[in-house]
Amino acid sequence: MNSELHNGVDASNPASGRSADNGAGKGRFFGWDIHGDGRKIAPGAVVAPNERLNWPRTIGIGAQHVIAMFGATLLVPLLTGFPINTTLLFSGLGTILFLLITRNRLPSYLGSSFAFIAPLTATQAQGIGAQLGVVITAGALLTLVGVIVKFAGRRILDAVMPPAVTGAIVALIGLNLAPAATKNFASQPLIAFVTMAVIILATVAGRGMISRLGVLIGVLVGWAFAAASGGLSPESTEAVGNAAWFGLPTFHAPEFHINAMLIGLPVIVVLIAENVGHVKAVAAMTGKNLDDIAGDALIADGLATTIAGSAGGSGTTTYAENIGVMAATRVYSTAAYWVAALTAIALAFIPKFGALILTIPTGVLGGATIVLYGLIGMLGVRIWMDEQVDFNNPVNLTAAATALIAGIGNLTLNVGSITLEGIAWGSVGIIVGYPIMNWLYRKIGEGRS
């Protein structure tokens, strides 16, 4: 990943410098400058966020962004029971809202966040209304965090959630889902194995876009294998034929249950990490300092998530998959993201497309999620490594260990009439307990100086 980021801008190349500088300033809501002749990118140069190539090329790059986001965006509603078309609709609308709030300075596609899978799966029995309450609560809180960061700066995040805490919460969210992945895998083991093997092969042995689209490729191959081997449900395939070509997405009203809402709160830690990481990655690729819009990015994703939850869509986040498209093409134009967003919105009004996606069998989902859920967990470990968290320090070691076991073992306890599960206990426990443990270590324990 680091080599890709550094290949994005060559500081010694004047063309590269001009492209990066053109995006300076406060940005604008609409309109892009034509990059060069609109057809070619000079060696070492990049197409800045406020620039674009001609429209045929921009539409082509936008199509690549649609392909990049498909696998992840459609898997989340499949796993959580959300309507496919509604999720696509709010994914596209959320992306447009994000681009407007960041004034077209931060190219990004907002797709379904995997962080929501755990709390939405845990609350699925309460119905989609309760699940939407989870999404809205997380979105509203993320918006509030964005406002605080916008006015107080990012240092407030480091004070409240140091890397030891952030990494543990991200890791336990992913690893908490392990039983769901293995259950789906066991339902159709051969189909699941084929899916998993293709994802691993494409990710590890593939290059460029093949590697970055490993999940999508694996799902498509597993899906095709399932169809050839009779692994598709007859009911789901019949539903495709009965579905209309054009129609409105399915909308739902949210309900608010305290126990469900509390389960979803730890998700914002992941969303913060993903959004701030996206800002850093785009800044590195374009050679621009974008720290001043980190708060705007959090506000935009928070509002997009809140709006999605208000009518039936899943929570959103910035997508690393689309960073890969930008690194490969050297095109960071936000115009391509407008194309991708409008394409997603158009697909949302094709019920037959949603019905087709619902034919993906549980074996394919099991093969994909056994990799994906593990990757979410390893993202937490990566945060620890990137921030060089010292696990020789007993505070970091003990706090992380305790939170992880509470999350992975899905510790479930009742507080009055409210039932809280492992993600809530692990996350709240480490957020509250870490500063207390740190104070004890420094004032009473061996950390005293």
pLDDT at 103: 87
Q: What is the pTM of this model?
A: 0.70
Label each residue of the chain as H, E or C.
CHHHHHHCCCCCCHHHHHHHHCCCCCCCCCCCEECCCCCCCCCCCCECCCEECCHHHHHHHHHHHHHHHHHHHHHHHHHHCCCHHHHHHHHHHHHHHHHHHCCCCCCCCEEECHHHHHHHHHCHHHCHHHHHHHHHHHHHHHHHHHHHHHHHCCHHHHHHCCHHHHHHHHHHHHHCCHHHHHHHHHHCHHHHHHHHHHHHHHHHHCCCHHHHCHHHHHHHHHHHHHHHCCCCCHHHHHHHHHCCCCCCCCCCCCCCCHHHHHHHCCHHHHHHHHHHHHHHHHHHHHCCCCHHHHHHHHHHHHHHHHHHHCCCCCCEEECHHHHHHHHHHCECCHHHHHHHHHHHHHHHCCHHHHHHHCCCCHHHHHHHHHHHHHHHHHHHHHHHHHCCCCCCCHHHHHHHHHHHHHHHCCCCEEECCEEECHHHHHHHHHHHHHHHHHHHHHHCCCCCC
What pLDDT is recorded for position 28?
Answer: 57
pLDDT at position 143: 95
pLDDT at 66: 77
Q: What is the pLDDT of residue 416?
A: 64
Q: What is the pLDDT of residue 1?
A: 34
| Residue 15 pLDDT | 37
Please, what are the averages of pLDDT over each run of 10 residues along the chain (449 residues)? 34 37 51 78 77 83 74 78 88 93 88 83 86 93 91 75 82 80 88 91 76 76 88 78 83 88 81 77 73 87 94 84 68 87 90 79 84 79 85 91 88 70 79 88 82
Q: What is the predicted pLDDT for the residue at 12?
A: 33
